[in-house]
Amino acid sequence: CGQCIAVCPTGALTEVNKISKVWKEINSDKVVVVQTAPAIRVALGEEFGMEPGTQVTGKMVSALKLLGFDKVYDTDFAADLTIMEEATELMHRLKHGGRLPILTSCCPGWVKFIEHNFQDMLDIPSTCKSPHEMFGTLAKTYLAEKMGHKPEDIIVVSVMPCVAKKYEAARPELGLGGTKAVDYVLTTRELAIMIKESGIDFANLQDEEFDNPLGESSGASVIFGATGGVIEAALRTAYEFMTGETLEDVEFHSLRGMDGIKEASVTINGEKINIAVCHGLGNARSILEKIQRGEANYHAIEIMACPGGCIGGGGQPYHHGDMSILKKRMQGIYNEDRGKAIRKSHENPMIKKIYEEYIGEPYGEKAHELLHTRYIPRKKM
Ligand code: SF4
């Protein structure tokens, strides 16, 4: 149906395979950089016979280098950036009486759904671009300047668990003066095809590290891949920004798990902050209708279109609705977070550096110019 084409979280009806074009770019004179989303590193291994949830981050980086990408970066870096902006935006709305609840905006399937179906509520999603679009923007501005290249000489490829991100990359309002911030989006399955086409023995690859400066990330950014993770990551930062105190226990277990709608309250500076998390567009609709009727008292809501969040995205290895696979991927995500030395976005040294060197204040003028967007009312479906 039309609605499915517009918002289908599996994106099957709009999927366009760009593998051959990416091969051409890799073999051109352009600088081709690739970024990888949080959720793919716990699912890619399934394409090579590994258990769901196996962490293959290092092998994935190694494979991308062997495929010929000039630089291999991490969307998780930009997820940390998203948290800096989104947590500051929440604080700004709380302080200045802005409209609440704030809704997370990193899922293009869900963003398109609200644009079509709740046109009177387009001032409530966060204005933050999604992490891979933030990355694309910085690759063609900050990184281009650092590397001494023109923006048009850099090609950005995103490897995503998501088909909706192919549509998102084509949105004109996310472009940079006539060029796209992200040139190509490949899914996890499409990356696996490229690795297989190249005859790479993925299972036996040595681990390699992401390149820098856009390759360092915190555990908070990794949990973006599972339902509840974005809001948990935002809370880790918002709590410390608002109280000036250290958050000792960074794991918010009430926001985790596969329930379709989860609710929790967190007390910050004596104020109760009400949170909701939902995944699946049916659950999103019922929460939005509750807000429309004035029956909801939330301050912040995370919404993801796919079951389980991006771990269950339409570009991931097929799971055929098997929840045990999604639970294993989710566990892989939380294990990766626990293994990270830094688990809060604002403690990522590369994030501190890019604000000092280039962006200035979080949620400031340059941040708005580079990292924020707007939403467009679309025909009701
Ligand atoms: Fe894409 Fe993730 Fe949203 Fe699914 S939940 S549509 S994979 S961003």
ipTM of the shown complex = 0.99
* CATH domain 2-371 topology: Rossmann fold (3.40.50)
- 162 alpha carbon to ligand 1 midpoint, in Å? 5
- 161 alpha carbon to ligand 1 midpoint, in Å? 7
Residue 16: what pLDDT?
A: 63
DSSP class of residue 83? H
d(CA 73, CA 318): 25
Residues in Cβ contact with 342 at an 8 Å cutoff, skipping those fewer than 6 apart: 218, 219, 348, 349
Would you say the CB of residue 309 lies under 6 angstroms from ligand 1?
yes
Confidence of residue 177 (pLDDT cuts 50, 70, 90): confident
CB-CB neighbours of 49 under 10 Å:
9
Nearest-atom index, ligand 1, CA of 313: 7
- Which residue's alpha carbon is nearest to atom 1 within ligand 1? 162
Confidence of residue 18 (pLDDT cuts 50, 70, 90): confident
- Which of 1-10, 54-63, 167-176, 343-352 bottoms out in mean pLDDT, i.e. has the lowest? 1-10
- Mark whether 310 is an active-site residue: yes
Q: Where is 82: in which H helix or E strand?
A: helix 75-96
